[in-house]
Amino acid sequence: MTSPQKLPLVAVIATGGTIASRKGAEGAASPALTGQDLLDLLPPLPLRLRAVELLAKDSSTLTLADMQGISDEVGRQLADPDIAGVVILHGTDAMEETALLVRLQNHAQKPVVFTGAQFSADSTAPDGPANLAHAVQLALSGNGVRLAFGGQVLPVWGLYKAGTDRADAFALAGSADPELPPLPAPIGGLRIDLIAVHPGADAVHLDASLAAGAQGIVLVALGSGNATPQIVAGVTRALAAGVPVVTSSRVPEGVLTPTYGGGGGGHDLQAAGAIHSRLLRPGQARILLAALIANGASSDQIAQAFA
């Protein structure tokens, strides 16, 4: 029989989210359970678990500084020689963003697994315990950053939340997982804005972001990365001010190609200097752009990272 001291040790970093949420007297769910509370719900497993109580937030409220704090904590746990793997309990609204940041900053030689829940801990059919049990077992094999959710195991690059009311909440925009150099510089002090593009959109929001001091902008464009002539003109102003602009899309899946013209299509945006995000959707494009800017990447390096 293996002694408890020789069983593998997995760190479980709690950050809040639906997996830790219960409804209050007003009927609204919010994080109420600690990481240890959630670990106590698990059946006996052939491993040791270390609860790390980091945050207790809905992931919709996470700032870049919060995401950086999570990434930093993952790095600290990975540096511990006693740790076999790391699990991060995280809200689903921003899980794809934080997971990508952890991947970019921690080229992990140990397994790192994100998980959470779609249904609160006091719902009639909570999915958190099964997701957590899957994640801690997955944290004993392989390496790198993955997601364990709803019975699926998915890589991080291209990840997006595909559903709000089903247990298998996540999907991939496409199949790719490029090799990038480590991007360790912290992103917490940056302002990177998403600008939603609708048919006939003007550049009011883009110009407002520039006025507010945005250091990078991601366009949530139409189709394969299309906008309007007014947005193209706004991109020109942003680049003149030294602010890089990346074009992504509100369409959840598929490779994006800058094909269309007409004064505001993806071809015109690229000609104006916007960088086309071939695969990453807006949330992850924002994180990658932030990491590249923080690490002093050139325009060519940014373009290559999104290619």
**218: nearest Cα among 272, 260, 277:** 277
Tens-digit pLDDT profile for residues 64-100? 999 999 999 999 999 999 999 999 999 999 999 999 9
Confidence bin at 175 (pLDDT 50/70/90): confident
The answer to whether the Cα torsion of 48, 53, 55, 57 is positive or negative is: positive
Cβ atoms 269, 247 nearer than 8 A:
yes
Q: Among all residues, which ones are annotated catalytic?
A: 18
pLDDT for the residue numbered 179: 87
Residue 183 has pLDDT above 90, yes or no: yes
The one-letter amino acid code at 36 reads: Q
Three-state secondary-structure class, residue 161: strand
Distance CA 133, CA 128 (A): 9
Distance CA 67, CA 189 (A): 11
pLDDT for the residue numbered 267: 98
The answer to whether the Cα torsion of 246, 250, 256, 258 is positive or negative is: negative
Confidence bin at 289 (pLDDT 50/70/90): very high
pLDDT for the residue numbered 176: 80
> Distances in Å between the alpha carbon of 218 and those of 132, 206, 209?
33, 10, 11
The answer to whether the Cα torsion of 201, 207, 213, 219 is positive or negative is: positive
> Distances in Å between the alpha carbon of 213 and those of 64, 190, 217, 299?
15, 9, 11, 19
Tens-digit pLDDT profile for residues 127-158? 999 999 999 999 999 999 999 999 999 999 99
Residue 258, C-beta contacts closer than 8 angstroms, at least 6 positions apart: 224, 225, 247, 265, 266, 267, 269, 270, 276
List residues forming the annotated binding site for substrate: 59, 92-93
pLDDT for the residue numbered 107: 82
Q: What is the average per-residue pLDDT within 262-282?
A: 98
Indicate the angle between helix axes 204-211 and 229-240, nearest 10 degrees: 20
List residues forming the annotated binding site: 59, 92-93
Mean pLDDT for the chain?
A: 96
H or E element, residue 152: strand 152-155
Cβ atoms 227, 261 nearer than 8 A:
no
Domains contained in the chain, CATH given: 7-172 (3.40.50.1170), 192-306 (3.40.50.40)
Cβ atoms 275, 257 nearer than 8 A:
no
pLDDT for the residue numbered 2: 57
